[in-house]
Amino acid sequence: MTKKEVFSSDHEGLLKAVDCVEKNLVSCKIKGKELRRAMLTAEEAFASLIEQADEDSTISMKLRSFQGNVSIEFISHGKEFDPVSSMDKFTSIDVDDTEAGNVSQNAIRSILLNAFTDRIRYDHRNGVNRIKMRAVKSRQSFLWQTLGAMIAAILVGFIFSRFAPGVFNKGLNTYCLVPVKTMYMNALKMCVAPVVFFSIISCVVQFSDLRELGRIGGKVFFSYLFTTVVAVGVGLGVYFLMQPGGAMATSAAADVASVTSKIGDISILDTIINIVPSDIISPFLQSNMLQLIFMAILAGVAVGMIGQYSHMLREIIGACNDLFLMIITLIIRVMPIAVFCSMCSMMLELGIDTIISVMGMFGTFLVGLLCMMLVYCLILAVFGRMNPIPFIKKYAPTMLQVFSTASSNASIPLNMQACEKKLGISASVYSLSIPLGATINMDGTCIHLAVFSLALAKVYGVDISGAAILSLVVSIIVLSMGAPGIPGSGLICLSVILTQIGVPIEAIGIVMGVDSLAGMFRTMSNCLGDVAITTVVAKSEKKIDMDIYRG
């Protein structure tokens, strides 16, 4: 919706403009503090244009509303000026505590600086001043943009796969969709290592008492271990309840050399030994989360012990942490484009028929994830003594975002933002728990390994029972903790499990086609578990703002 109005550049025009803005904002269902701040900012912007306007000129206003976002633009002929810098010298006042009619013009400008400086854009060209302000930013608009991109990608991918020539689809996927998706994922991965490193150091240096750090770390670790065991149990339970798998053409197995070549021996001993890196650079180059966490904790403890340089280093580390979080914020803004390319590419590569062929296994896997979501709600309600409904509502948009990344590591910055801005969790908790969870808490992966390994064993007639199931459970737990949080890691772990239980490795080919889709769901469940445990631990430590959580 777009509305245009023209007003005179005088006091009467100001009053009419303010009245018009108010009526339009109310019609857009804007109210409360957002309405008052938008009104005050619009009034100040219009008044500043009056001061600089040419004689007898008019001021036009354009108000646009789309998906809950409302922007206002004022345009007039006049001299060039800076409407924002003039506010810099004033101090802040809470708009709720002071009536607009009883405060000075300086105080009003102070309010606007704190509330709207980042929302105001000024431009002067060819003797024309333009002030554009984003009056209201919808909290759900990004969710709808991402969801719309997913739906559009599925429709476009389905239509192209059915009606477009195969050569065209291959070219579109190879030279357009995959490059965009790859560049976006690379941009996210580029920031993962520094975000984890600096956020954990920033977290550790906040603790004057290292016993508090150990207490929080212990709670996080054992909570993750508990949910991992529960997830394996859920995976086994839904498999034996639904019994997927059966007669299937094993000729569907594809070339799995690219997967089996990546299989390595994964053991608890190797995982523990590899926590300590042999150099400083490799953990950053390889995005080795356990090594980065070790280095960051060690550095954080050391920063607090070096005396006169501690304060300076804390400021530098905090600045680096803010820098990379801001870079992540900029990258996330273009996520709908990456989501469209990723989903459309998947549809062109796999097609509907391939997905339907293993729908039994995949459906069982989804039921397991749904059960695990209920487990998280119970954990929040029983151990955290919190209503899980606000948690689900507030984390739902982030779940959609991490779904498209298919990478727990790449989702670390998204989860940190959700913890701080949506759930009100202190950085002293989430800066430690989220990177640690992306490394060792893979509940979705546990369910995936349990369901698909048993189902493929059934396809190939391999009987799994008794001691073999116990061995399977232990292997899944170890693999989930040692698995990298990157796309494709599920296939590598599944290959190890199948080899252990005596299923031909070629069985991977049956489910390889839908692993990219399964990886998205695994990531979503993994990240949901990380944030749920972080919320419970933060509540137990009284490091969560319950007003933000409930609001």
| For residue 103, pLDDT beyond 70 | no
Whole-number pLDDT of residue 92: 40
| For residue 70, pLDDT beyond 90 | no
**Residue 125's pLDDT band (cuts 50, 70, 90):** confident
Question: Which residue's structure tokens are 């889709």?
Answer: 517
Q: What is the pLDDT of residues 323-352, one digit of tens each?
A: 887 787 777 778 788 878 877 887 787 655
**Residue 110's pLDDT band (cuts 50, 70, 90):** very low
Range in 133-137, 231-235, 314-318, 538-542 the model is least confident about: 133-137
Written in H, E and C, the secondary structure of 323-385 is HHHHHHHHHHCCHHHHHHHHHHHHHHHHHHHHHHHCHHHHHHHHHHHHHHHHHHHHHHHHCCC
Q: What is the pLDDT of residues 360-405, one digit of tens each?
A: 888 899 999 999 999 999 999 999 899 999 999 889 888 887 887 7
Query: Which range is most confident: 155-164, 203-212, 289-298, 366-375?
Result: 366-375
Whole-number pLDDT of residue 264: 45
- 43: closest CA among 2, 103, 123? 103
> Which residues neighbour 540 within 8 Å (Cβ) at sequence distance 6 or greater?
219, 383, 384
Range 482-511 burial, b when 16+ CB lie within 10 A, else e: bbbbbbbbbbbbbbbbbeebebbbbbbbbb
Taking residues 172-186, report their average pLDDT: 85
Average pLDDT over the chain, rounded to an integer: 77
Q: What are phi and psi of 73, to 5 degrees?
A: -125, 125
β-bridge mates for residue 66, sequence order: 69
DSSP helix/strand/coil, 7: strand
319/340 Cα distance (integer angstroms) = 33
The H-or-E segment that residue 529 falls in is helix 515-540
| For residue 410, pLDDT beyond 80 | no
Q: What is the pLDDT of residues 458-492, one digit of tens each?
A: 877 777 777 778 878 887 887 777 565 555 567 66
Whole-number pLDDT of residue 253: 43
Whole-number pLDDT of residue 536: 93
Question: Which residue's structure tokens are 């391999």?
Answer: 462
Whole-number pLDDT of residue 337: 86
Contact 253, 506 (CB under 8 A): yes
Taking residues 31-51, report their average pLDDT: 78
Percent of the chain residues topping a pLDDT of 70: 78
| For residue 212, pLDDT beyond 60 | yes
> Which residues neighbour 353 within 8 Å (Cβ) at sequence distance 6 or greater?
none
Range in 62-76, 207-221, 260-274, 359-373 the model is least confident about: 260-274
Taking residues 243-265, report their average pLDDT: 49
| For residue 432, pLDDT beyond 50 | yes
